[in-house]
Amino acid sequence: MTGDSPRLTHLDERGRAHMVDVGAKPDTDREAVARGTVVMQPSTLDLVREGGIAKGDVVAIAQVAAVMAAKSTAGLIPLCHPLLLTGVDVKFELDQADRIGIEVTVRTYGKTGAEMEALTAVSVAALTIYDMCKGVDRTLTIEKVRLVRKSGGRTGNWQALDE
């Protein structure tokens, strides 16, 4: 691409995938927040709330899965840089009748952001909930996994318009 046209940074001038060199970038505080939802039958959510899922405490296990996923992102997504995470916070919302909301905040101090870590953590938490509840509910769906906010780095702060 030429001129001021935007280009995908993970592609070289020949269109081949490569890991971006971030060595010259300054270290900055960075934070990324991602969210997603697992929709289920109200009776399934009741079982989750009551601890009635045979595989165990759904929320506790999904929380651990989210943290592990954030820490493992570079091993799952081919062109992600390994990051030293300074914090991972996982929140679940069980206030609605038929869904569990998931929010993950990932913090780091470094040369590249933590968006992929936050998105991976939400995705794996949702998959964990799905796995633990699928025996009682085949209607489960994972919806709207998305980045809602990020801060730090060259591009500064960003927030989704619908948040």
Percentage of the chain lying above the pLDDT 90 cut: 71
Mean pLDDT (the chain) is 89
Q: Which residues contact 160 (CB under 8 A, 6 or more apart)?
A: 146, 147, 148, 149
For residue 117 the two structure tokens come to: 């870590």
- For residue 78, the model assigns a pLDDT of 86
Chain segment 108-161, per-residue pLDDT in tens: 998 787 999 999 999 999 999 999 999 999 999 999 999 999 999 888 899 998
| pLDDT above 60: residue 5 | no
- Cα dihedral 36/40/44/49 (nearest 10): 30
Q: Which of 29, 46, 98, 131 is catalytic?
A: 131
For the domain spanning 28-159, the CATH number is 3.30.70.640
**Pairwise CA distance, residues 28 & 112, whole Å:** 8
Tokens of 133: 């509840």
The mean-pLDDT minimum among 3-12, 42-51, 64-73, 75-84 falls in 3-12
Per-residue pLDDT, 31: 96
Q: Active site includes 131? A: yes
7 pLDDT more than 70: no
CA 25, CA 131: separation in Å to the nearest integer?
40
User: What whole-number distance in Å separates Cα of residue 94 and Cα of residue 96?
Assistant: 6
